[in-house]
């Protein structure tokens, strides 16, 4: 949540530092993933979005919403053959 607030305050450098820390903890819960997806997409870091979604869905396959997000992430990266 803090990273999202930093992004909305245009403190991208601080946000990026926090993202590195969050990523090292390998978040796997869907709520954290949704915030990170929004942040990565706003920063144009689509490959990070895709990697995060693939990881989270490898643990929690029951989230239809995250499956849809992964599909659209593949679309953004032109990786439609992966689906």
What residues does each domain of the chain span?
A: 2-82
- DSSP at 29: S
pLDDT in tens, 17-61: 888 888 888 888 888 888 889 889 988 889 999 999 999 999 877
Interatomic CA distance for residues 27 and 33, integer angstroms = 7
Q: Is the pTM of this model over 0.85?
A: no
Within 8 A by CB and 6+ apart from 42, the residues are 7
How does residue 70 score in pLDDT terms, banded at 50, 70 and 90?
very high
pLDDT in tens, 6-24: 888 888 888 888 888 888 8
- The CATH class for the domain spanning 2-82 reads mainly alpha
Strands (E), the chain: none
């Amino acid at each position: 949540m803090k990273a999202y607030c930093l992004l909305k305050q245009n403190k991208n450098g601080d946000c990026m530092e926090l993202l590195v820390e969050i990523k090292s903890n390998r978040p796997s819960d869907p709520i954290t993933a949704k915030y990170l997806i929004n942040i990565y997409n706003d920063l144009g870091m689509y490959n990070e979005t895709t990697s995060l979604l693939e990881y989270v869905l490898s643990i929690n396959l029951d989230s239809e919403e995250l499956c849809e997000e992964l599909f659209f992430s593949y679309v953004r990266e032109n990786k439609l053959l992966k689906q």
